[in-house]
Structure 1
Amino acid sequence: MRADRLVSLVLLLRRHERLSAETLARELEVSTRTVLRDIEALSTAGVPVYAERGRHGGFSLLPGFRTELTGLNHDEALALLVAGSRRGAQAFGLGSALSSAMRKVLDALPESYRDTATGSARRLLIDPDTDLLARPSIPRDASDTTMVEVRRAVLDGHRLRIHYAAAEQQARWRTVDPIGLVTVRGQGYLLAMRAGVDRTYRLSRILAAEELPEPAQRPELVDLDRIWQERGARFRAGGDQLTVLVALDPARRAELLDTALGVRAEETGADGRVRMELTFHDPRHAEWALWQHAETVEVLAPQGLRDSLRDRAAAILTRYRAPADDSEPPGVLEHPA
């Protein structure tokens, strides 16, 4: 806690040039006596803090004193700002920049802290590539070369050509006006406009990109959070989606919502189960998602989806009703000596 307070004290003096002990105490929410002790500690550690007497006096740092890390380039600084986690940096093509920046941060630490930080870091793992069932948890990313072009166009305000492969379609080139980049659960998206119409592109589906010299036609000020919420609302309200009525144990609600697009209505029935109207992309998406919860979720409507799930369950029942064929296919159970 004291180390954090000392850093905050230095930053306050950097920003305001001169502050009284009373003002520092108020900003740091400590007593004036504590501030005086902290000032003495900083001076002992070599931080050039000096006092100015008089009515308008206070504490100041020696002019020119700086506390920034040196050697950070633009991408490294950007990686530290947007990283949040390893996936945040990787989704925007800043993984290598983050690694480089963190090496510089580590090198800037005092030697005693450096050893402690390195040892501690080995005991923390964030967003591994697979979950406990060895399922890949990290989606495929766009190449670093592609992301350099995308990121540069977004930050420089230039138009962008992308070779984009939409789902189940041939990849084709299109020119867009980039607005910003968003990452959600490790999946990255490019928010853009194309011919004046809002468009959202998954970064993993951008096969190649080229920053163009002409300026992008986009607003000067941007609120990405608001734009993302608005696009999400329009997406969930789309007319081509499938609405499904289900009943389930309330304890399974959160798990089910991870696979659906959204919830249109929800109520608790007389039997204690939750009845929900959920939206899915299409029947294929609904069948896949609800099959993951087949033992705990009942589809009430539409009837076509109930029939599809019933037929799938019947096929599995038929397959496993008879004893397994124990004949040994050639080579399947053979192991090298």
Structure 2
Amino acid sequence: MRADRLVSLVLLLRRHGRLSATALARELEVSTRTVLRDIEALSAAGVPVYAERGRHGGFALLPGFQTELTGLNHDEALALVVAGSRRGAQAFGLGGALASAMRKVVDALPEGYRTSAAGAVQRLLIDPGTDLLARRVVPEEVPDSVVAEIRRAVFAGHRLRIRYAAANQPPEWRTVDPIGLVTVREQGYLLATREGADRTYRLSRVLAAEELDEPAQRPDHVDLDQAWQERSTRFREGGDQVSVLVRVHPARREDLVGTALGVRSEVTDPDGWSRLDVTFQDSRHAVWAMWQLATSAEVLAPDWLRAALHDRAAEIAARYATST
């Protein structure tokens, strides 16, 4: 790991010319003390790195220094495979590996391409942390050590012990046969089987993981996209789902469809509003989704959902009936 970090440090200096110890520590996700030790190690190994003091000082390489240390390790190569979605790399615990791999890729480019690529990066912003309404995108937090253990078991084809906290249940250890990893809308999932039955585990609910030596009971080849679609279909068709008949303004139709599990039927009323029969995961999901639409939608059935929305609106109205 330290060798990879030293290579990354050299590449950062080659790319930026001069960086402070604080900036290097931030890029490498280590302490400034570690950066200073690494600088000393590079100097001892003959790498011409020197310090410039002053307000705009920092560490730099002697002009003209070249290095061929651009080989990718396993995790960095894997990170590039999922680099089409930076958030996918984050969900699988590969964010640091992706940053390191991209530094090596940029360094390996011809000088002309490297310059144009650096300029292009300044013109692109992918998946910012907030949307236009300043709503934060909060990805699920999963310890890197847990995700790394799960990844190893998935790729090695070994069985896996996980301490899993299912919704509204105490955590418990389970032994599963891992099949693959999926990331959807900032959430990571482990597809596996347990005692022959299909299981889907949310990575953020895995509190601990341990790769076992015994081989996983799973097919040699898998169509992960098909497996995900099949499990999604079973999820939508099972559980305590509720059906809701609702009228919605055309401007908010996509918001409704985006939060529902599925649309069973749809017609357009003479006034342009859409009348849809949609399904939600449970009653709580239905109340939450319809409340977000405010007066842009009206629940026609069931009556209990109309009553729930009425009661919530009455509570809000009563709260703001008088000034404080």
> Fold-level match, TM-score > 0.5?
yes
Residue of structure 2 equivalent to 1:257:
257
Q: Could you say what secondary structure the match of 1:124 adopts?
A: coil
Over aligned residue pairs, what C-alpha RMSD do you find?
1.7
Show CA shifts across 1:235-283 (max 9, x none): 1111421111111123321111221111122222344321111111211
| Aligned partner letter, 2:157 | G
The whole-number CA distance in structure 2 between the counterparts of 1:83 and 1:110 is 21
| Secondary structure in 2 matching 1:258 | helix
Structure 2 spans left out of the alignment, 5+ residues: 1-68
Could you tell me whether the CA contact under 8 Å between 2:241 and 2:281 is conserved in 1? yes
Q: Give the whole-Å Cα distance in 2 for the aligned partners of 1:239 and 1:312.
A: 25
Shift of 1:292: 0.4
Deviations 1:61-96 (A, max 9, x none): xxxxxxxx9501111111111221210111111111
Offset, 1:290: 0.9
Identity %: 68
- Rounded Cα–Cα distance in structure 1 between residues aligned with 2:201 and 2:175: 12
Give the drift of 1:233: 0.8
Aligned to 2:234: 234
Secondary structure in structure 1 of the residue aligned to 2:160: strand
Per the normalisation by structure 2, the TM-score is: 0.75
Which stretches of structure 1, 4 residues or more, deviate above 4 A after TM superposition?
A: none
Q: Quote how far apart the aligned CAs of 1:188 are.
A: 1.0
Aligned position for 1:199: 199
Change (3 A) 1:79 1:119: same
Determine the C-alpha separation between the residues in 2 that align with 1:140 and 1:242. 27
- Structure 1: gaps of 5 or more residues: 1-68, 326-337
Q: Deviation of residue 181 (structure 1)?
A: 0.7
Asked whether the equivalents of residues 70 and 105 of structure 2 are also in contact (C-alpha less than 8 Å), the reply is no
Letter in 2 for 1:258: G
Separation of aligned partners in 1, 2:146 and 2:242: 34
3-state SS, counterpart of residue 295 of structure 1? helix
Q: Give the SS at the match of 2:289.
A: helix
- Describe the superposition over 1:119-177 as per-residue Cα deviations: whole angstroms up to 9, x where unpaired: 32133221122223333313223111011111111111111111111122221111111
Question: Secondary structure of the equivalent of 1:136?
Answer: coil
Partner residue of 2:145? 145
Per the alignment, in what secondary structure is the counterpart of residue 240 of structure 1? coil
> Radius of gyration: which is bigger?
1
Question: Do structure 1's residue 123 and structure 2's residue 126 form an aligned pair?
Answer: no
1:291 and 2:291 matched: yes
Match of 2:111 in 1: 111
Partner of 1:173: 173
Q: C-alpha offsets along residues 184-237 of structure 1, whole Å, 9 cap, x if unaligned?
A: 122111111011111111111111111111111111110011111111111111
Cα distance in 1 between the residues matched to 2:270 and 2:110: 64
Question: After the TM superposition, which residues 1-337 of structure 1 pair with which residues of structure 2 at under 5 Å, given as runs?
Answer: 70-322=70-322, 324-325=323-324
Alpha-carbon distance between aligned partners in 1 of 2:255 and 2:295, rounded to the nearest angstrom? 13
Equivalent position amino acid for 1:312 in 2: R
2:239/2:281 contact within 8 Å kept: no
Q: 1:72 & 1:238 partners in 2: Cα distance?
A: 44
Asked whether the 8 Å contact 2:91–2:140 carries over to 1, the reply is no
Q: For the Cα contact (< 8 Å) 2:165–2:206, is it kept in 1?
A: yes
1: distance between equivalents of 2:150 and 2:210? 7
Aligned residues: 257
Give the TM-score normalised by the residue count of structure 1: 0.73
